Amino acid sequence: MAMLGYGTWKLADRDTCIDAITTALETGYRHIDTARMYDNETYVGEAIANAGVDRDEVFLATKIWPDDLAYDDAIDAAYDSLDRLNTDHLDLLYVHWPARAYDPAETLDAFDRLVEEGVTDRIGVSNFTPELLADACDRTTAPIFANQFECHPLLPRQGWRDACAEHDVQPVAYAPIARQEVFEVETIAEIADAHDVSPAQVSLAWLRQHDVTAIPKAASVDHIRDNWASLSCTLTEAELDAIDAIETRSRKVNPEFAPWN
């Protein structure tokens, strides 16, 4: 899984979604992240199929919504996603949230079966607290490959990242630029000016240098390319420390059913 992926949240319009993913793949992205509830899996599959990039070069991840996490429902939902994405396998399949129909034994047994049946190469979880992650890792036969959660300089989630390291799970950050709020942080703006890059690139570089994969969503060509350029941005240890020391905290995703509520 590439350390910088392309997120597709809110890309529910067909033309916008296909154009954006096409641009992302042409730019160099090879990790595409979607979800059943984004209502765009068909468009994602269409874009990948028509992009002129070999499917084996693309790391494709999707997620099953909490309403579909009972054993039989999870199996059916995964096969439905496979059909919509027009692919013969997923590279990674996530439990989207540990909520509603999520039952650790039943849901994770279904995910193990999906690996055995070749539907997905890897299984992941999303929005799992350190405690829930430890429990999931103890239950599955297939290893938990990734835990995807909100993470950025204003919500660094050190404890969550530590838990991922303890269990050999890759942390994946959604909302990695805090929905553009990092642009308003003086420390990040000063570092961006010093490198002649955008604050978004600084935030993405900070994540990468902390071994966190990021999946920023962007619709415009300029933003897609700007995020990609973050791979050429390397922060100094002093700059990393300065960002780590930011005291402002801001959570962007906080549904009532979240496990921390």
Provide the annotated active-site residues.
Answer: 38
Backbone angles phi, psi at 79, to 5 degrees: -65, -35
Taking residue 135's Cβ as centre, other Cβ atoms within 10 Å add up to 15
DSSP codes joined into one string, 104-138: HHHHHHHHHHHHHTTSBS-EEEES--HHHHHHHHH
Contacts of 129 (CB under 8 A, 6+ apart): 160, 259, 260
Backbone angles phi, psi at 176, to 5 degrees: -70, -10
CA torsion 139-150-169-90 (nearest 10°) is 80
> For residue 219, what are its two tokens?
């619709």
Q: How many CA atoms lie within 13 A of 12 on its CB side?
A: 6
Q: How many CA atoms lie within 13 A of 66 on its CB side?
A: 15
- Longest pairwise C-alpha distance within the chain: 53
Query: Which residues face 225 on adjacent strands?
Result: none
Residue 7 DSSP class: E
Q: Which residue has the tokens 């992302």?
A: 24
